[in-house]
Amino acid sequence: AEFLSMRFGTILRSMLTLFELMAAPNLPDYQNQGNLLFERPFLSLFLVCYVIYGSFGMIALLTGVISESMFEKNQTRMEEERQEKEEQRRMISSNCAAMFGKLQTDDRERAMRVSVEQLIPKLERMLDMACVDYLVDDIARVIELRVDYDDMISKDDFCNGMFALASGIRPVTIQELYSIVTKIGRDVDDLVDKVDLVLFGKSDSLASGVSSEFEQPCRSD
């Protein structure tokens, strides 16, 4: 009784005792008081429930709140980065399209490689203003990888290549693979056209030969 009076005798002592149990549960102090816990089963039940829900539950609650706050901040930061990249994409695409529009192009909106390479100083200033990290020869390498077999580059390939460079995709990685795959696809298309030309040419000559053989007996009759 004296122990309980010392711990729960007044409201302030009770609040301090409950705070101590929440901050650092120390049930051995109660076990050392003889048969205190066995004689008062409701006290034992209260202490166990308070330690579980008060101490451990509070720690879990604080951990959850902190984790949720960090998750929300991370989501907010990711959304801000996405919006910045989208704004950067629009800015780079519009600037590149404006630069490319001043060049002399053909009916397929393609310009000569030499003309596009003259835009490199302007492209460097644009990337510097956008705080893009790039190497000195990256722009020339992008242009080289985007040209067609006839040394021409289209407007879309030019804009996409510059945006890929601004996004951190170096020319020596994915863009080289893209260029190789594109060239292979063009070579395959050319090969298919040549095969079709040969096959249709032979079929036309064969058809003309057969028709001429049928015409000869008819004339002799």
DSSP output for 69-130: HHHHHHHHHHHHHHHHHHHHHHHHHHHHHHHHHTS-B-TTSEEEHHHHHTTHHHHHHHHHHT
Return the pLDDT at 215: 53
Lookup result for tokens 């604080």: 62
Q: How many CB atoms lie within 10 A of CB 8?
A: 15
Assigned token pair, 28:
């051995």
Tell me: pLDDT of 118 over 70: yes
CB 183, CB 149: distance < 8 Å: yes
DSSP letter, residue 174: I
Return the pLDDT at 1: 62
Phi/psi at 3 (nearest 5 deg)? -65, -45
Return the pLDDT at 101: 87
Tell me: pLDDT of 214 over 50: no
Q: Tell me the per-residue pLDDT of 128-185, one tens digit each, with 9 for 90 and over.
A: 887 777 777 888 888 887 777 778 888 888 888 888 887 776 555 655 666 667 777 7
Lookup result for tokens 């076990």: 31
Query: Distance between CA atoms of 135 and 148, rounded to whole angstroms?
Result: 23
Return the pLDDT at 156: 86
Assigned token pair, 22:
């929440």
Q: Tell me the per-residue pLDDT of 94-104, one tens digit each, with 9 for 90 and over.
A: 888 889 888 88
Return the pLDDT at 15: 86
For the chain, where are the E strands, in sequence order?
110-112, 152-154
Q: Tell me the per-residue pLDDT of 15-29, one tens digit each, with 9 for 90 and over.
A: 888 888 877 777 777
